Amino acid sequence: MNGNAQWLMRPDRAVGIVGYGAYIPRYRLPGAEIARIWTGGNGGAPVKEKAVAGLDEDVVTMAIEAARNALLCAEIDARHIRAVWVGSESHPYAVKPTSTIVAESIGASPNIQAADWEFACKAGSEAVQAAIGLVGSGMTQYILSIGMDTAQGRPGDALEYTAGSGGAAFLLGPAAESYAVIGGSYSYVTDTPDFWRRAGEVYPSHGDRFTGEPAYFAHTISAASALMEMMNTTAAEYDYAVFHQPNVKFPARAAKMLGFAPEQISAGLLANEIGNVYSGSCMIGLTAILDAAQPGDRILMVSYGSGAGSDAFDLRVTERVKRKPPGVYSTADYIARRTPIDYATYVRYRDKLKD
């Protein structure tokens, strides 16, 4: 291990993902439909379609569904969980935690800690990072970390094409019970204002091309490169890699810059089918990878959040991946369960008509 090893975050006792679950709404808005409204069909679209939350769905309801899937996957009683953390940039309440509702709904309360996390699109991975520390210190046995978001894009803005809804839940616990053990993690953060939304504003603003460089690529590449250097690994030693997915091109380009082949990222690259699900983007990609992975497979996961920062994780799949209990929805199940909608229905579902 190199001289930068002091920056590697590794717990005192081994920690892994003992349960995981995704949730994606069934409604899909094609990119071509957005282009039809705003450009007359000219210019194309950055993704084929995006997932849209329905009238009765928000971050709370979707987080509950993902949490229930994670619990079924883990085969543990919710009362054994000591913390529920929900990362999102679209919490339904400005003052009222999402996490307490989720904890109550899955039967984990009241003997529990709960909190909401925010860091743009890496709020979910921040919650995972903190959970590794708490479980790894021996302070608690299980923590549920969730990354979940609903679409937020100003009508006609470039974000509207990709801002999707959905996310994933990871139950962190002892390595011996895990589907994948976390070998180490690393975070890279700077004050880069590429994307923001002030209090009281309905839609976020962004720095257009600035969001690629020096924002997404500088942080993603720096975090991934540093972690691999500290773990003494190269891209060739990973079976899978998954990155934050604001569109299809960004993660594909980042993977190429780091030396990964297209087949290493294909299993977790879901942006074309569901859009950018913000806080759950790389997390939901990891659920798809875990659904397909085999024991011994090695995975690199790298999140990105505007403002700006990246969390990178090195994971090793265990034998337990062969024994996933029946009846748990896979990520592929949610992607296949789709109902196309038109732009007018999308406007109604996402309350786009403002006074």
Count other C-beta atoms under 10 Å from residue 16's C-beta: 25
Length of the chain measured in residues: 355
> What dihedral angle (degrees, nearest 10) is formed by the CA atoms of 330, 335, 341, 343?
120
> Which stretch of DSSP H or E encloses residue 222?
helix 217-231
**Tokens 């780091």 correspond to what residue?**
258
The catalytic position among 33, 89, 229, 273 is 89
Rounded to whole angstroms, the Cα distance separating 283 from 124 reads: 8
**Distance separating the N- and C-terminal Cα atoms of the chain:** 58
Whether the Cβ atoms of residue 161 and residue 47 lie closer than 8 Å to each other: yes
Quick one: DSSP state of residue 316?
Answer: E
- Catalytic, 91? Answer no
Rg of the Cα atoms in the chain: 19
Whether the Cβ atoms of residue 303 and residue 276 lie closer than 8 Å to each other: no
Sheet of 27-30, strands arranged across? 49-52, 27-30, 339-340
The catalytic position among 33, 244, 273, 282 is 244
- Catalytic, 244? Answer yes
Contacting residues for 138 by C-beta, under 8 A, at least 6 apart: 12, 13
The catalytic position among 33, 65, 91, 121 is 121
Rounded to whole angstroms, the Cα distance separating 307 from 89 reads: 12
Nearest-CA neighbor of 170 among 201, 148, 194?
A: 148
Rounded to whole angstroms, the Cα distance separating 131 from 171 reads: 9
- Catalytic, 75? Answer no
Q: Return the structure tokens found at 95.
A: 């003052």
Rounded to whole angstroms, the Cα distance separating 17 from 4 reads: 26
Q: Return the structure tokens found at 193.
A: 């204002």
| Residues forming the active site | 89, 121, 244
